[in-house]
Structure 1
Amino acid sequence: MPKFPRGHTTPASVVDALKALAGNPPKTRARFAGGRCVRGTYAPSDRAQEITKSQSFTRPSRVLARFSLGGSPDAANVGNSVLRGFSFRLGSDDDRSDILTQNAPMHFARTLDQMLAFLKARIPGADGKPDAKKLRAFSAANPETLHQASYLAGRPPPESFAGTTYWGVHAFPATNSKGETRFIKFKIAPVGGDVALSGDEARAPSADLLNHDLEQRIAAGDVRFSVMALLGRAGDPTMDVTVRWPDEDRREAVRLGTIVITGIEAERMCEVSAFNPANLAEGIGYPPDDIFAARRVAYAISQAQGR
């Protein structure tokens, strides 16, 4: 387990701040509370072994996954500022890997201290609103914390969980069977392309509509994702998750395999088998950034509080 200096921000304090920002709902995850647990299959490509020796990615397996929303599960509509999440598990108990992705390719904070300050600046006061002056001052002093919001604001709201591209914001060291290691980022791309309306047609769907759309697409056998590895280069930033790699949208990528979602699972299945980024089978290592180190602890805390 990662160690955090005494007196500094801890994963538990960040979870508390996330809960406070959400209004401290009882028995609820700190984030991504609303979602759908699903099942499926994974089939590796013939190039997966070039990138990693991890049996999670080089062998066929069953998939347990969860689509989720970063905002309130009771929201009347879900605009483009609300993150969509896709967490999935590949492999068996002996070679299990949990990969957590979202529909923005960067995180909103670079360090744990900055993450806590970001959240505290947004916690509503007695009037139900955050202190606008305090929020402006924080954003001016920490402009990198606006990168994620700017990315989301520049795109129409996704109309479907199944038609959304998801990103792993961390740089993972991947080691292949030859012992060669390079950094990769995960990109999970819908096989049929993104589904998002634009212009005058754009609208913000409700959580219920997103879940209903997902159920219909699963019933039609229409939920497939390519698991892509974006290949790192020398000089790529691996410690700062608020920035993207240079030319990230155009750089070389290898398809590791394909996920096919085949059915809806009871939510308790995803609660009992909690997704945790610490679960990575040999061949995919831990990213070196501060946020990933904290997530390994914070997800377990949040999951426990949601039961």
Structure 2
Amino acid sequence: MSRFPIAAATPASIVDALKAVAGNPPKVRASFAKGRCVRGTYVPSDRAAEITLSQSFIKPSRVVARFSVGGGNPEVADTDNLVLRGFSFRLGGDEHRSDILVQSAPVHFARTLDQMLAFLKARIPGPDGRPDLEKVRAFSVANPETRHQADYITAHPLPGSFAGTTYWGVHCFPATNSQGETRLIKFKLVPVGWDVPLTEGEARTKTADFLHDDLLKRINTGDVRFNVMALLDRPGDPAMDVTIRWPDEDRREAVRLGTIVITGVEPKEACDASIFDPANLAEGIGHPPDEIFAARRAAYIISLGKRR
């Protein structure tokens, strides 16, 4: 199978393909359709200003956030071990707001928009409601980098809690500090104190909504907090290919920018009335240079229009 689709991809065609893969459910997100809207607080560390002058990261603020399960099916089971877990959060006030999107794997499933569209088209269900597995295999053979995300997911146990999952940003953000120094960072959210993977036996006992039920219990006990980490770049790190990781990324030097504490649940509308806009970044955090990020904002706005 060719590495290049016949027609060039657009944000609109990506949204349509995401919806088609999920069976075109109405009035839901094209991706990460199932989720829970929450609120909390952000407290910066004393080292945040070393990395960025962004007011959204160096000042305390309220937080609006959303935990989610990957894919465009709002009925997906929390026990599905083939999809991502996501966390989107908004820091800062109206004049210095930043929206950050992270997920439970450190890479994206496609390098370019064209490759992303071809990946999705290969998985659109046929008349029997199932994708053509031969078509999927052929695409994977021709595009081996699109296996990196799936390989990471299958190599790790099913997360046992939204609150006990490590979340990664797949993009490289230019961060500028008050001295005018700019370097690339990747965001990583690390649960404070614990991580909760499940054994295969434990996973089989869980209900279809266990992550959402667990989240409510942990919020009520004040047990949902994350350190917001900035992984620091080195010379030669790849910045354009979101299907590959930085070398030694798990042991990479990192600076804690601050801590998010989730304190309550918000009505669904608090997150669904608008979007977590990945391009909305307060001065001091720049837009990543890769092609996938450049298309995200338009795709999210299109998806919001379809939801309405």
Instruction: Check whether TM > 0.5.
Output: yes
Cα-to-partner distance string for 1:159-191 (whole Å, 9 max, x where unaligned):
111110000100000000000000000000000
1:296 is matched with 297
1:283 is matched with 284
Supply the distance in 2 between the matched residues of 1:256 and 1:61 (Cα, whole angstroms): 13
Instruction: Summarize the Cα distance change of 1:205–1:85 in structure 2 as closer, same or farther, 3 Å threshold.
Output: farther
Q: Does residue 193 in structure 1 map to residue 194 in structure 2?
A: yes
**TM-score (normalised: structure 2):** 0.95
Could you tell me whether the CA contact under 8 Å between 1:90 and 1:98 is conserved in 2? Answer: yes
Identity across matched positions, percent: 72
Instruction: Summarize the Cα distance change of 1:137–1:158 in structure 2 as closer, same or farther, 3 Å threshold.
Output: same
1:4 is matched with none
Supply the distance in 1 between the matched residues of 2:205 and 2:175 (Cα, whole angstroms): 37
Could you tell me whether the CA contact under 8 Å between 2:34 and 2:76 is conserved in 1? Answer: no
**TM-score (normalised: structure 1):** 0.95
Cα-to-partner distance string for 1:78-127 (whole Å, 9 max, x where unaligned):
22211100000000010000000000000000000000000000011112
Could you tell me whether the CA contact under 8 Å between 2:274 and 2:304 is conserved in 1? Answer: no
How far is the alpha carbon of 1:201 from its aligned partner?
3.5
Q: What SS class does the counterpart of residue 134 from structure 2 fall into?
A: helix
Instruction: Summarize the Cα distance change of 1:245–1:208 in structure 2 as closer, same or farther, 3 Å threshold.
Output: same
Cα-to-partner distance string for 1:230-284 (whole Å, 9 max, x where unaligned):
0011100000000000000001000000000000000101122421101000000
Q: Show the 5 A alignment for 1:234-249.
A: 234-249=235-250
Consecutive aligned runs of 4 or more in structure 1 exceeding 6 Å deviation: none
Supply the distance in 2 between the matched residues of 1:238 and 1:141 (Cα, whole angstroms): 23
2:66 is matched with 66
Q: Does residue 48 in structure 1 map to residue 48 in structure 2?
A: yes
Supply the distance in 1 between the matched residues of 2:272 and 2:202 (Cα, whole angstroms): 36
How far is the alpha carbon of 1:137 from its aligned partner?
1.2
Supply the distance in 2 between the matched residues of 1:63 and 1:88 (Cα, whole angstroms): 7
Q: Show the 5 A alignment for 1:88-237.
A: 88-198=89-199, 200-203=201-204, 205-237=206-238
CA RMSD of aligned residues (A): 1.3
Structure 2 spans left out of the alignment, 5+ residues: 1-6
Q: One-letter code of the match for 2:20?
A: A
Could you tell me whether the CA contact under 8 Å between 2:96 and 2:282 is conserved in 1? Answer: yes
The count of corresponding residues between Structure 1 and Structure 2 is 301
Could you tell me whether the CA contact under 8 Å between 2:69 and 2:76 is conserved in 1? Answer: no
Per mean C-alpha deviation after superposition, the further-off stretch among 77-86 and 105-114 is 77-86
Instruction: Summarize the Cα distance change of 1:130–1:78 in structure 2 as closer, same or farther, 3 Å threshold.
Output: same
Q: One-letter code of the match for 1:29?
A: R
Supply the distance in 1 between the matched residues of 2:88 and 2:206 (Cα, whole angstroms): 21
Instruction: Summarize the Cα distance change of 1:177–1:67 in structure 2 as closer, same or farther, 3 Å threshold.
Output: same
